[in-house]
């Protein structure tokens, strides 16, 4: 089991694991154990990025995350300058 810092955001691979495990009927706690995360983190991810018609989609969740980060960068222009200053690092 991987261990994660509590402040680290879910990555695309984590979201794919959540989607796969959800399709197989795994519990939130099982997903959390596999990812080394809190069950609350997994539960919030599923709640925020699920809809009644299609359920959880890792692709939609990742797109929402990217849009949210872009909006945050536009609200704080200095952040994009800091990111540009870091060679080879992504925000």
Reported as a single tens digit per residue, the pLDDT across 36-75 is 999 999 999 999 888 888 888 888 888 888 888 778 777 7
The string of DSSP letters for 46-62 reads HHHTEETTTEE-HHHHH
What is this structure's pTM?
0.67
Give the helix/strand (H/E) hosting 55.
strand 55-56
């Amino acid at each position: 089991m991987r261990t994660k810092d509590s402040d680290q955001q879910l990555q695309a691979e984590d979201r794919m694991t959540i989607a796969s495990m959800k399709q197989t009927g795994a519990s939130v706690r099982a997903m959390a154990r596999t990812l080394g995360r809190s069950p609350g983190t997994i539960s919030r991810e599923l709640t925020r990025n699920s809809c009644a018609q299609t359920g959880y989609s890792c692709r939609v969740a990742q797109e929402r995350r990217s849009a949210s980060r872009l909006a945050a960068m536009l609200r704080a222009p200095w952040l994009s300058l800091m990111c540009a200053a870091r060679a080879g690092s992504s925000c």
